[in-house]
Protein backbone atom coordinates (compact mmCIF):
# COMPACT_ATOMS: atom_id res chain seq x y z
CA UNK A 1 0.00 0.00 0.00
CA UNK A 2 2.82 2.44 0.82
CA UNK A 3 4.42 1.68 -2.57
CA UNK A 4 1.28 2.88 -4.35
CA UNK A 5 1.09 5.97 -2.17
CA UNK A 6 4.77 6.73 -2.85
CA UNK A 7 4.27 6.30 -6.58
CA UNK A 8 1.27 8.65 -6.49
CA UNK A 9 3.21 11.25 -4.51
CA UNK A 10 6.11 11.03 -6.94
CA UNK A 11 3.73 11.53 -9.88
CA UNK A 12 2.11 14.54 -8.19
CA UNK A 13 5.49 16.11 -7.39
CA UNK A 14 6.86 15.53 -10.89
CA UNK A 15 3.70 16.91 -12.52
CA UNK A 16 3.77 19.98 -10.27
CA UNK A 17 7.43 20.59 -11.07
CA UNK A 18 6.74 20.14 -14.78
CA UNK A 19 3.85 22.64 -14.74
CA UNK A 20 5.87 25.21 -12.78
CA UNK A 21 8.86 24.80 -15.10
CA UNK A 22 6.63 25.10 -18.16
CA UNK A 23 5.00 28.33 -17.04
CA UNK A 24 8.29 29.91 -16.00
CA UNK A 25 9.83 29.03 -19.38
CA UNK A 26 6.69 30.25 -21.15
CA UNK A 27 6.82 33.51 -19.20
CA UNK A 28 10.40 34.26 -20.25
CA UNK A 29 9.91 32.97 -23.81
CA UNK A 30 8.94 36.36 -25.25
CA UNK A 31 12.11 38.22 -24.18
CA UNK A 32 14.31 35.24 -25.10
CA UNK A 33 12.66 34.89 -28.52
CA UNK A 34 12.89 38.64 -29.20
CA UNK A 35 16.56 38.79 -28.30
CA UNK A 36 17.47 35.68 -30.29
CA UNK A 37 15.43 36.83 -33.29
CA UNK A 38 17.15 40.23 -33.17
CA UNK A 39 20.57 38.57 -33.03
CA UNK A 40 19.65 36.26 -35.91
CA UNK A 41 18.31 39.04 -38.11
CA UNK A 42 20.94 41.67 -37.36
CA UNK A 43 23.86 39.28 -37.77
CA UNK A 44 22.55 38.02 -41.09
CA UNK A 45 21.86 41.55 -42.34
CA UNK A 46 25.30 42.73 -41.22
CA UNK A 47 26.87 39.86 -43.16
CA UNK A 48 24.92 40.77 -46.30
CA UNK A 49 25.91 44.44 -45.96
CA UNK A 50 29.56 43.48 -45.55
CA UNK A 51 29.23 41.15 -48.51
CA UNK A 52 28.04 44.05 -50.67
CA UNK A 53 30.53 46.56 -49.27
CA UNK A 54 33.68 44.44 -49.07
CA UNK A 55 33.16 41.83 -51.73
CA UNK A 56 32.72 38.09 -51.60
CA UNK A 57 36.20 36.86 -50.69
CA UNK A 58 36.88 39.44 -47.99
CA UNK A 59 33.43 39.09 -46.48
CA UNK A 60 33.73 35.32 -46.21
CA UNK A 61 37.23 35.48 -44.72
CA UNK A 62 36.51 38.17 -42.15
CA UNK A 63 32.79 38.08 -41.40
CA UNK A 64 31.90 34.38 -41.41
CA UNK A 65 31.49 34.49 -37.60
CA UNK A 66 28.43 36.68 -38.18
CA UNK A 67 26.81 33.85 -40.11
CA UNK A 68 27.81 31.35 -37.45
CA UNK A 69 26.45 33.64 -34.73
CA UNK A 70 23.20 34.10 -36.65
CA UNK A 71 22.76 30.37 -37.15
CA UNK A 72 23.66 29.68 -33.51
CA UNK A 73 20.97 32.09 -32.28
CA UNK A 74 18.45 30.44 -34.61
CA UNK A 75 19.34 26.98 -33.27
CA UNK A 76 19.12 28.18 -29.65
CA UNK A 77 15.64 29.57 -30.27
CA UNK A 78 14.58 26.31 -31.91
CA UNK A 79 15.98 24.28 -28.99
CA UNK A 80 14.25 26.55 -26.48
CA UNK A 81 10.90 25.98 -28.17
CA UNK A 82 11.61 22.24 -28.26
CA UNK A 83 12.31 22.18 -24.53
CA UNK A 84 9.11 24.13 -23.97
CA UNK A 85 7.17 21.51 -25.94
CA UNK A 86 8.82 18.66 -24.03
CA UNK A 87 7.86 20.01 -20.61
CA UNK A 88 4.36 21.00 -21.68
CA UNK A 89 1.85 19.73 -19.11
CA UNK A 90 -0.51 18.66 -21.89
CA UNK A 91 0.28 16.06 -24.50
CA UNK A 92 1.12 17.58 -27.86
CA UNK A 93 0.14 15.84 -31.05
CA UNK A 94 2.63 16.93 -33.67
CA UNK A 95 1.94 16.12 -37.28
CA UNK A 96 5.35 14.84 -38.29
State the DSSP string of the chain: -HHHHHHHHHHHHHHHHHHHHHHHHHHTHHHHHHHHHHHHHHHHHHHHHHHHHH-HHHHHHHHHHHHHHHHHHHHHHHHHHHHHHHT-SS------
Would residue 47 count as lying in a domain?
yes
Would residue 15 count as lying in a domain?
no
Domain count, the chain: 1
Would residue 95 count as lying in a domain?
no
Q: What are the tens digits of pLDDT across the range 11-64?
A: 889 889 989 999 999 999 999 999 999 999 998 898 888 888 888 777 777 778
Range of the domain at 74: 27-88
Would residue 93 count as lying in a domain?
no
Amino acid 95: pLDDT = 55
Would residue 52 count as lying in a domain?
yes
Would residue 18 count as lying in a domain?
no
Amino acid sequence: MSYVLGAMMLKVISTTFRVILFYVLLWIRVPVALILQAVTSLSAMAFVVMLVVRGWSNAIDVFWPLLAFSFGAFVLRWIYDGILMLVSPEELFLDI
